[in-house]
Homo-oligomer: A and B are copies of this chain.
Amino acid sequence: MAETIFFNGGARGKWKVTKQSAIKGTGLAGVGFIDRGVTVDTTASWTLSGVTSNLRYTNAAEKKLLDATPSVLAKPGATCAALIPITKSAAWWAMAQDERRAVLEDKSRHIAIGSDYLAVVSRQLVHCRDQPGAQFDFLTWFEFRPENEGRFDELLRKLRVTAEWGFIEREVELRLERVS
């Protein structure tokens, strides 16, 4: 069923932290490296974990488009990454499914905007809201080639001005560079 993904933040890992920022709300303790994998590192300063899951908002037409450009992680040239943990507000989660979809796509074009970057930004959505004790709702992960960093910045800028982002109450951003 669900695959559990761990992000261990500490003194070792495949990904060196080049910049760490608290975008909204409380940040995370500063770390030098992120080790992303399927096991917890008990020596890490902190570990965030969650699971891959089924699609929650994507409709059939959008899914067809996404399936045509699968998100492939660990591409040889994709030496840049970003880990962006986010938490949405209680008001978001109290909405009915159609109300959340309306904000996410009809008003904010989240899926449509993301689709414009499928070719240059690989991504993975890790769900943690339903995991006991989780401090974030989602751990979003992105990998891209260094020359596409500007496009990734553009993607973040577009999403962060949407109506959907008004429901984000905590967001941390770590920019990473592959070192092994």
Contact = CB atoms under 8 A, between A and B. Distances in A.
Interface residues of A, number: 29
Interface string A1-27: 110100000000000000000000000
A16 to B, nearest CB: 29
Contacts of A53: 129-130
A180 interface: no
Contact of A55 (B54, B57, B97, B127): B97
Contacts of A101: 97
Contact of A62 (B51, B56, B96): B96
A49 to B, nearest CB: 9
A129 B1 contact: yes
A96 B129 contact: no
Contacts of A62: 96
16 contacts: A2-B129, A2-B132, A51-B130, A55-B97, A56-B56, A56-B97, A57-B97, A58-B96, A58-B97, A59-B96, A59-B97, A59-B98, A59-B99, A60-B95, A63-B96, A130-B130
